Structure 1
Amino acid sequence: MIDVAAGFFLLAGALLALAASIALVRFPDVFSRMHAATKPQTLGLLCILVGLALRLQSVGAITTIVLIIAFQLLTAPVASHMVGRASHRIGLLDESRLSRNDLDD
């Protein structure tokens, strides 16, 4: 039963990572791509790591996986925020695609 759950998480994570990579190529602007790079990619990695933890079931591996998850959850939102701020500052924002701009002066 654990192998089935691990396989499910591994497959779900791989599909989320695939969806994120397709979205990075197909989305038109920086902000849409930034969303695709953080949300499904992070969830895909977490699913893969949970599947790996279920499959390995050793204390050392699970400790390492928990550290990887914590590092990913701490760095992905910060990196996405910095990319968004930098792209807004240099003028990559397409006003016609927004319904509201809270950063407008």
Structure 2
Amino acid sequence: MSRFIAGMFCGALLLFLAMHYHVVRGNNGVVLVPKISNNLGDVYTDIRAFELDDWKRHKTLAAAIMRSSQSDLIQGSAQRSFGQSVREAVDGFLGEGS
């Protein structure tokens, strides 16, 4: 019976964490970000390779990150995506001129 109660306690704790926090894996490790609304959406998200289109699909996660004062998580991927689009534009321009 004690194993059952311990299992129920662990399950309730995990459900509480999943309902109230985003687990975000960024370049600096794993971070807990408080959710804006309590639901089971975006429980775990790996944002290391996120681009601007990915942030558009995860608007609630982006809002929660901005609200929690951890905007450096978003800035790194936005700068990387912007740099990549500039490189593609320059490569396209140089390719057309040749």
TM bucket normalised to smaller: 0.3 to 0.5
| Structure holding more strand per residue | 2
- Structure (1 or 2) with the larger CA radius of gyration: 2
Name which structure has the greater RCO, CA cutoff 8 Å, separation 6+.
1
| Structure holding more helix per residue | 1
